[in-house]
A and B are shown apart, each in its own frame.
Chain A
Amino acid sequence: MSVRDKVVLSLMVGIPLLGVLFFIWFPAVATVILSFTKWNGIGGIKAIKADGVQNYVQAATNYPPFWPAVRHNVLWLIVFLVIATPLGMLFAVVLDRNLRGGRIYQSLLFLPVMLSLALIGIIWELIYSPNFGLLNNVIGRSGQHNLIDWLGNPHLNLWAVLVEACWRQAPYVMVLYLAGLKAVDPTLREAALVDGAGPWQTFWRVVFPTLRPINVVILVITVIESLRAFDLVYITNGGNNGLELLSVLITRNIVGQVSRIGFGSALGVVLLVISLVPIVTFLVMQLRQEKRS
């Protein structure tokens, strides 16, 4: 290797390395360190006081929104896995059959994906609003004494927001899956047809297995989207009263006029650990597969 090669090579490796260190590892490590401290965000490093695991203890024992937030994050993940993603796959499979007007359906279904989550929250707020909302007026429950408080009732509002989230997530999965389906070699289906397989068998025995890579991507996206859920509940009511999520609690403790940086960081670490579970599982699976091949 010439000197020039070495320089080029070290630049090509070094710059991304610095980027990764600065933008990913530094903040992540700093978060972990800060989570063991007490700091209101004012004053320099000297103002930061070590506080042991107190932040974690407080979060688990003396912070009522914490456990609901963990539960809601998990519920969000389950709903995405069980409802939104299969629904999106179903849309894709149906649209892949080249129905008449399929492109129109496809565009319509894809519309929510093009809207920002904040906007989606506002749109659904107009639908769910107790006295003046579309839904209550259509079903005749907008009166003062029989109204259904979709976004205010802590037993209902998480489900109401999950409907909003699925409204966007299902078409997102649909588009990804549709792209995968279009790439399936048609001869595979023809062969299955010749062998006498029905549409059900063809899909599950032939098409689905060949789509393994995209299935994995969709799984990863589902997990990510459900763990980083934030916008919808933040727009809806700031993440209170039945809509607590870890991401909201982190923001609430860190951004603002009087912050509890250490405490917020501890919550950040909790979310990081939760995110690591599916990521590590995925990595292990991936590495095993590579070894096999």
Chain B
Amino acid sequence: MTDSGSSPSSGSSGGPMPASGLATLATSRRAVLKGLAGAASLAVVPGALAAACSSSKTKTGGTGSTTPTTAGASTASTPAAPSGSAGGGGGGGTASGTITFGSNYSDAVPKAAFAAMINGFTSANPNAKVTINTVDHNTFQNNINNYLQGTPDDLFTWFAGFRMRFFADQGLATPIDDVWDKIGGNFSDAFKNASKGNDGHYYFVPLYNYPWAVFYRKSVFASKGYQIPKTWDDFVTLQKQMQKDGLVPMAMGQKDGWPALGTFDIINMRLNGFQFHMDLMAHKVGWDDPKVLAVFQKWTEILPYQQPGATGRIWQDAAKSLLNKQAGMYLLGSFVAQQFTGADLDDLDFFPYPQIDPANGQDSIDAPIDGFMMSKKVKNKDGATALLEYIGTPEAEALYGKTDPSDVAAATNADTSNYNAIQKKSVEIISGAKNIAQFLDRDTNPQFADDTVANMIDSFFNSPGDVASQLKSLESQAKQVFTS
């Protein structure tokens, strides 16, 4: 979730009021009137801001920079293009014309990895030219509505789950069943299902994902003789023991609102099963369902072992306490490894969340998928289709993974020989899971997840005894959100 940016990082609300006309302020009436005019116009700003955003939907991000980069055939030099089969189902060299690609891979590493992958396409299709418009990823996400309704690029980077199905439902994306006729064999059923809209058509080509699991330090477990817990009872016992040993059993950093959603996801899937979780995400069952309450009751059992002060801590600091051996375990996405280097990284390991109900075993996991969609207003449909067919090949995805090693390729048969231990284990744990969820803020209305549910979890941390009434209030808000 780090690079999916659940929460927008910065909003602009205008600078401080200029200290204008200080010298003339002494006694003149004009100056007072000037202040008055400033006051009046500024006071209208909140309302004006709201309307400006809502009526004309102008860009408000402010930080977003658009940098068009062209990966033309002639510039395809950096990576060795995968030979021959690079065009994948598209066939070598059939695509032509300019294909535009809106990208939110704005950080240096993903940006370079993406360019490397696209270069593989352009070198195999000398008649095609791919123009990549990179936009800061928070800005990209906040403006996605306007972007798709305005003049979108042919293809754009996006996420699987509700966030994909929502835009498919709104008619802002083009179904790509023809692409999947070619690339279907490269993906497991879990990925296929994650790429379909509510209407059963394909709208999405997955690139990579990463698992959420319980991270720990091998050296800590070895020195204290801890065992990997398989069941809930083992898990509780282990946390009790860790607390006795002076460790914080479970690290937690909930300041940004989303990390604890992962804990809810996994307990819900372990306890109530994947289908119930998805029904809850689609709001087919209410948040006041007794089964949801049961999730929080389970959570309450281990709440005493959770790092105190979670709502004021960023996940990076929680990861640091795992790094410093102050905490024993940390449930997070594999991006937690970004905080570890060298020997510490080698010492880092993870295990799937323990089983709660034997009926569900350990069959589900949060493993958010990033990938690509085709906009409704696609201009070069043939070219865009060929490009998506290329991206859906293991060769292309391996090319991406070579430059960005923090995730694992979505294609089942992608080359994994360069993977580090965490990546190898990620592949294992993801392919071992029967059901893949996308994370709460990707499986349901993201605004609802990151604001309303995250808020409810904050208040649950602050007063766990009131959880029943907190859930009732959550459900009554959910009704409002999901009927609009």
Contact = CB atoms under 8 A, between A and B. Distances in A.
Centre residue among B13, B15, B41, B321 by max chain A CB count within 10 A: B13
Contacts of B28: 213
Ordered nearest first, which 3 A-B pairs have the shortest CB separation?
A152-B312, A268-B50, A27-B51
18 contacts: A26-B55, A27-B49, A64-B455, A65-B455, A144-B326, A149-B308, A152-B309, A172-B19, A179-B22, A221-B17, A225-B16, A238-B256, A241-B459, A261-B54, A262-B484, A265-B51, A275-B47, A282-B39
B70 to A, nearest CB: 28
A133 to B, nearest CB: 9
A213 B44 contact: no
Interface in B14-54: 14-17, 19, 22-23, 25-29, 31-32, 35-36, 38-54
B341 interface: no
Looking at chain A's contact residues, the main secondary structure is: helix
B17 A147 contact: no
B13 A228 contact: yes
B255 to A, nearest CB: 5
Interface in A254-277: 254-265, 267-269, 271-272, 275-276
B312 A257 contact: no
A192 interface: no
Interface residues of B, number: 82
A144 B308 contact: yes
A240 B257 CA distance: 8
Given A34-B54, A152-B312, A252-B451, A42 B172 contact: yes
Contacts of A113: 16
Nearest to B39: A220
Contact of B52 (A27, A41, A130, A283): A27
B463 to A, nearest CB: 10
Contacts of B60: 255
Chain B at the A interface: mostly helix, strand, loop or mixed?
Answer: helix
A225 B46 CA distance: 12
A217 B46 contact: no
B166 interface: yes
Contacts of A216: 32, 35
Interface residues of A, number: 96
A62 B17 contact: no
B25 A255 contact: no
Contact of A259 (B25, B42, B43, B145): B145
Contacts of A128: 312
A113 B15 CA distance: 11
A228 B313 contact: no
A250 B49 contact: yes
B17 A26 contact: no
A214 B307 CA distance: 50
A223 B23 CA distance: 22
B473 interface: yes
B23 A179 contact: yes
B48 A23 contact: yes
Contacts of A28: 44, 47-48, 51
